[in-house]
């Protein structure tokens, strides 16, 4: 055992001992290794995060572009479908321009011929209110443009049936906005037998149809100076046929309302004359019978007794005349 003079150093805990150089070097190397190992992992996480953000941004742009393209395609498809389907429920969109003229527009039934002056195909002034003259009526048919297919069909239809209108004592006129020169050329080319009226300013056309920008194909029938029928619009081939049929119906209605034809209208006068003649004969017979009765009552029989004429005597006043002998 050590002596009391020897001092035994106190034991120091191992944990409190300073690390040796080897230990420090080892720890430094370990830290460096951990740093090198941890750095790539940290860098990898940062790089990975950055890449993810870029991808997300690119995906967002791509998605927005795709959405825009999809919307455009949808709009195009929608427009195409609307064109293919046409009007919804058969109703077309309203146009800004005025609709076509109808029979509710323009001159009304019962209205007289307008008081206007226009030119004919000879460039002469024509008073519209006087075009009927002494005829039973007048037909005014309107064409959009002279010497065009549809207008020629309509005009030639009235040309072919013109004798029928004349037989019914109706005049026919063609009205358009063409110049007198153009109308005259068309009249000669198609041998149109009726006059053509020129109305470039559409004054008469507007009064009839209420349209001043275009001429609606139509016809108007006037009888005794009043509008009795109109067709607006009308097909070219139908116009002359319908106009003639209506005028014939007017004649038939006139005969039916009176119940007599022209031949029948003379019958009452003839019957009345015959009745008067019969009454005269009966009166004369009565006078003769009365005279004979008076002679017999006086006792004298004269076979030949004449009576006065009806013009000089009335019933009950006739006196027998002597015929070579006096009555006692």
Residue of 207, 197, 225 whose CA lies nearest to 137:
225
Give percent helix, percent strand, percent coil of the chain, each to the nearest 5: 50, 10, 40
Alpha-carbon span 132 to 209, nearest angstrom: 20
Which residue, among 122, 254, 238, has the nearest Cα to 188 in the 3D structure? 122
157 and 217 in contact (C-beta within 8 Å)? no
| Cβ burial 312-328 (10 Å sphere, 16+ → b, else e) | eeeeeebebeeeeeeee
Encoded tokens for 113: 């011929």
Establish whether 151 is a catalytic residue.
yes
Of 195, 68, 59, nearest to 123 by C-alpha is 195
Catalytic-role residue among 138, 143, 146, 151: 151
Q: What angle, 0 to 180 degrees and rounded to 10, lies between the N-to-C axes of helices 149-160 and 180-190?
A: 60
Six-digit token pair at 324?
């070579």
Residue 233: is the preceding peptide bond cis (ω within 30°)? yes
Sheet holding 218-223, edge to edge: 125-127, 117-120, 196-198, 170-176, 137-142, 218-223, 226-231
**Residue 148 dihedral angles phi and psi, to the nearest 5°:** -115, 160
Instruction: State the Cα–Cα distance between residues 228 and 210, nearest whole angstrom.
Output: 17
Give catalytic residues, as residue numbers.
Answer: 151
């Amino acid at each position: 055992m050590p002596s009391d003079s020897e001092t035994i150093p106190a034991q120091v805990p191992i944990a409190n001992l300073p690390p040796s150089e080897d230990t420090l070097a080892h720890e430094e190397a370990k830290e460096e290794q951990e740093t090198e190992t941890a750095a790539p992992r940290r860098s990898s996480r940062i790089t990975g995060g950055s890449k993810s953000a870029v991808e997300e941004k690119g995906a967002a742009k791509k998605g927005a572009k795709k959405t825009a393209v999809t919307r455009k395609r949808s709009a195009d498809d929608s427009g195409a479908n609307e064109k293919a389907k046409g009007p919804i429920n058969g109703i077309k969109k309203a146009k800004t321009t005025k609709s076509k003229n109808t029979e509710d527009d323009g001159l009304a039934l019962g209205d007289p011929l307008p008081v206007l002056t226009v030119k004919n195909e000879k460039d002469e002034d024509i008073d519209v209110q006087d075009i009927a003259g002494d005829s039973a009526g007048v037909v005014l048919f309107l064409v959009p443009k002279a010497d065009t297919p549809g207008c020629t069909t309509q005009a030639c239809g009235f040309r072919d049936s013109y004798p029928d209108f004349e037989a019914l004592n109706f005049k026919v006129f063609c009205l358009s906005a063409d110049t007198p020169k153009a109308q005259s050329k068309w009249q000669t080319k198609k041998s149109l037998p009726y006059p053509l009226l020129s109305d470039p300013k559409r004054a008469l056309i507007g009064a009839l149809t209420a349209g001043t920008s275009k001429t609606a194909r139509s016809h108007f029938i006037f009888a005794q100076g009043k509008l009795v029928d109109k067709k607006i619009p009308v097909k070219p081939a139908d116009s002359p046929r319908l106009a003639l049929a209506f005028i014939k119906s007017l004649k038939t209605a006139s005969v039916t309302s009176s119940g007599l034809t022209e031949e029948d209208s003379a019958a009452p006068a003839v019957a009345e004359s015959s009745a008067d003649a019969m009454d005269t004969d009966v009166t004369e017979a009565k006078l003769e019978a009365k005279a004979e009765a008076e002679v017999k009552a006086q006792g004298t029989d004269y076979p030949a007794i004449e009576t006065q004429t009806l013009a000089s005597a009335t019933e009950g006043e006739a006196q027998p005349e002597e015929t070579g002998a006096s009555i006692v």
